[in-house]
Chains A and B, each alone.
Chain A
Amino acid sequence: METTTFMQAIISGIVTGSIYLLVALGINIIFGAMRILNFAHCTYMMLAMYGGYYIYVFGGIDPYISLLILTPLFFLGGFATQKYFIEKVLATNILNQIILTVGLFITIKSLASLFFSETFRMIPVFYKTISYSLRGVYIGLPQLVAVIVSISLVLFLHLFLTRTDFGRMIRAASQDMYGASVCAINVYRVFCMAFGIGTALASVAGVLIATYYPIYPHVGDPFLLSGFIVVVLGGLGSFKGCVVSSYIIALTESLIAYAYIPAFQQVGSLVIFMIILLFKPKGIFGGYESK
């Protein structure tokens, strides 16, 4: 492969990796708290993309600004999902949890199909076509913004989790539910907040890519797959692991797409995933004892 194509693949991988990072961190926070892997996670991402689209089309508000409206909205949505749906099955076996989240996944996606139809949409923002290049390697403005916003958000999240009281409450409730209860932490509310934060992260990821990615009801599916792979590869519940593995997976996919066939990129990352798992079954930074 030529150097410019290689560098282009790297840039593309970094951009996608930043998005995967947001999605995967969302999944991780939810898993860390409640040991639930939310199948419907990326449907919220898809809904956020439609949100950004319609707010732009009907209100003329730029997607990056509508982020400020949409993020809290999706936080509340996640909070409600946890409170009214997930909580009910937390105590039961894992089969029920899987079926519930898969059910949500299908319901939300089919509702989107019904209301928005399957046509591809794109947000016609003026800056979509602006790109910067360095020695033949291009990066679009929306992609650049996506990387910057994503990394800043991740840093902010890390500080939030490690330095603030709220963050410590979430981590405490994730590590020992009963221990947290006797420290006067309302673990049920903390779980709802964790779910809300996870969903909000997915929604931010959605709006960020909505500026340059086509929007359709199934757009979240590849992100869900890759997101799960990233989370497991990095080690469930590990923040560091998430960061590292999201870029590993994104770069792998990008290189396969540029060097070979775009359609096979997920096949490739799946293979890499299975290989790494054979050597490190708990993930790269596998901390958590999966039950």
Chain B
Amino acid sequence: MLEVRNLNVNYGYLRVLSDINLKVNEGEIVCVLGPNGSGKTTLIASIAGLISPKQRSGTIIFQNTRIDRLPPYDIARLGISCITDKTGIFPEMTVLENLLVGGLTLKKNERNEALKQVFALFPVLRERCKQLAGTLSGGERKMLLIGRALMSKAKLLLLDEVSAGLAPIVLGEILRRISEIARTGKSILLVEQNVFAALSVSNRGYVIENGRIIIEDTCERMLKNDIIKSAYLGIQNCQAIFGDWKR
């Protein structure tokens, strides 16, 4: 469904992403892992069209249409929804209005349908629907962002660091919802720092380091992968640290 080929992104003289090749198929949840500064957010931004074409090269194809030269609003119209902190909520509009803006491309009755679905998925949004979005807590904002993205009947969701700043319980809630969303047939590309969280919901995963993909595999195999275990899950290190403490 989504295919990224030979993506290279530069910020000035700094090469941020080199030769990225990535695929997301229908109904899949794909996660992208990696340390800070590895270029994960840039990847999402490139797909969503938020990075100027002058700074990147390579092809991005979504359902047989080339989207790498399109402006972000056209990409959104094709069915890709981007959920990042940069493309945030509209703080001075109510929760309801935020969702309505998300559903601008739909007709009136379709919009009400979508609204019902979003409220079913995130009941807390229905409670707060008349509140100004700027007054919501961090977790509620993330839910609002996801809800807004769902309003447009997007087929592909790009999620950037959904776990950032969330309490573990809230994160668990959101992850559950993400799985439910995927079950309805949407595809999800998930960029994450929290490796456990990501691997627990995804089907496949990529690991990016210094702008290059170093690992590409299904999540089950990745969980057993030694490199991932030591570098990202820190299992061996954890034991060493706890060992010292206990003494």
Contact = CB atoms under 8 A, between A and B. Distances in A.
Interface stretch (A181-189, A224-232, A248-256, A264-272): A181-189
- By size class, the interface of chain A is 10 to 19
B82 A182 contact: yes
B92 A175 contact: yes
Contacts of B82: 182
A168 B92 CA distance: 11
Give the interface centre of A176, A181, A184, A287 by most chain B CB atoms within 10 Å. Answer: A184
Interface stretch (B9-17, B61-69, B73-81, B170-178): B73-81
Nearest to A186: B73
A169 B104 contact: yes
A181 B80 CA distance: 12
Give the interface centre of A175, A178, A183, A186 by most chain B CB atoms within 10 Å. Answer: A183
Contacts of B90: 171-172, 175-176, 179-180
A179 B76 contact: no
Give the interface centre of B74, B88, B104 by most chain A CB atoms within 10 Å. Answer: B104
B94 to A, nearest CB: 10
Interface in A51-65: none
B102 interface: yes
B76 A181 contact: yes
Contacts, number: 73
A238 to B, nearest CB: 9
A182 B101 contact: no
B104 A178 contact: no
Nearest to B48: A182
- By size class, the interface of chain B is 20 to 34
Contacts of A180: 90, 101
A187 B90 CA distance: 14
A287 B87 contact: no
Contact of B76 (A168, A169, A183, A287): A183
Given A171-B92, A171-B93, A175-B92, A181 B73 contact: yes
A57 B81 CA distance: 55
Nearest to B158: A182
Nearest to B97: A168
A165 interface: yes
B54 interface: no
A183 B101 CA distance: 7
30 contacts: A165-B100, A165-B104, A168-B93, A168-B97, A168-B100, A169-B101, A171-B97, A172-B90, A172-B93, A172-B101, A175-B90, A178-B50, A178-B86, A178-B87, A179-B88, A180-B101, A181-B49, A181-B72, A181-B73, A181-B76, A181-B87, A182-B73, A182-B76, A182-B81, A182-B87, A183-B73, A183-B102, A183-B152, A184-B104, A185-B73
Q: Which 6 A-B pairs have the closest CB atoms?
A: A181-B72, A184-B76, A178-B87, A182-B82, A175-B90, A179-B87
Interface of A: 165, 168-169, 171-172, 175-176, 178-187, 287
Interface of B: 48-50, 71-74, 76-77, 81-82, 86-93, 97, 100-102, 104-105, 148-149, 152
